A = this chain, B = another copy of it.
Amino acid sequence: MTSSPQYLTGDAAALNSFIDKFDTFLFDCDGVLWSGDHVFPGTADTLEFLRSRGKQVVFVTNNSTKSRADYKKKLDALGVPSNVEEIFSSSYSASIYISRILELPPNKRKVFAIGETGMEQELRNENIPFIGGTDPAFRRDFRPEDYKLIADGDPSIIDPEIGVVLVGLDFHYNYLKICLAFHYIRRGAVFLATNIDSTLPNQGSLFPGAGSMSAALIMMLGQEPTALGKPSQAMMDAVEGKFHFDRSRACMVGDRTNTDIRFGIEGKLGGTLAVLSGVSTKDDILHGDVRPAAYLDTLSDLLGAKQ
């Protein structure tokens, strides 16, 4: 059963009624607040307006290479007012999931990290011990003697305290890292991915995304990772683990029905709001398999509620 999404643009009464239903707004960023390096007109005013009505604002991004501090810099540079505590990235989501939701045995609390500095910063912020990441020791060539050392679980190369393998976008992905991740998971480590987007948009084209970093492991293991980005509900659990919001009074705002809107619906949020400034079209929104509760031409149409 899917109902017809309500069009709110230009209808002050409907906008006010919609806004009043929620205490928390979760925002996808690219396609909603900006596109690439171009901020949509009215983005900053709209966020200020929602805050002035007492709404909690949360920025939810699958970007795994940036820490929240990095992402805050990006928001600042684009003139979007925010504070670090409002930002929820997939590396942060993964760190919250590891520290607050996974119950690891005391001798298995270390993470083998495939990722960049953003992931490392978020693991450190949650006091999670890890190896890998940007450590040059893992950016070396594979050596013939590694086969036996890894097969034997030699402590010179296999850390017995690894309980989690966390895979995100890593521009220094290599054979050694795939080998180690595979062996840790076979020895019982939990297989997590920051997100499973196979591609990363850039320069109007596509490049390998965080999901493609997990692909070899998925093929070798015959096992999917628990993903911590949208639309995975593990990310929603992590958001809730931090903000303790009332799901029935929260609304997910996004431009893509299959990730953002799905994320909100499967998370049983009180509402979902699509905008037409990004990937999904009006036809997707009105006739697709996944439909939001309401939609706007562009986010700043919310300012119509002030009139």
Contact = CB atoms under 8 A, between A and B. Distances in A.
B141 A172 contact: yes
A150 B200 CA distance: 14
Contact of A171 (B142, B182, B205): B142
A220 B204 contact: no
A174 interface: yes
This chain: how many copies in the complex?
2
B215 A151 contact: no
B219 A215 contact: yes
A179 B209 CA distance: 10
A199 to B, nearest CB: 6
A139 to B, nearest CB: 9
Contact of A216 (B183, B206, B215): B215
B171 A208 contact: no
Given A141-B172, A203-B148, A205-B150, A220 B216 contact: no
A207 interface: yes
A202 B147 contact: yes
Contacts of A213: 216
A211 interface: yes
A56 interface: no
Contacts of A212: 178, 216, 219-220
A245 interface: no
Interface of A: 141-142, 147-148, 150-152, 170-175, 178-179, 182-183, 186, 198-199, 202-209, 211-213, 215-216, 218-220
6 nearest interchain CB pairs?
Answer: A151-B205, A215-B215, A151-B203, A212-B216, A215-B219, A215-B216
Given A148-B203, A182-B207, 5 more contacts: A172-B174, A173-B174, A174-B174, A175-B208, A178-B212
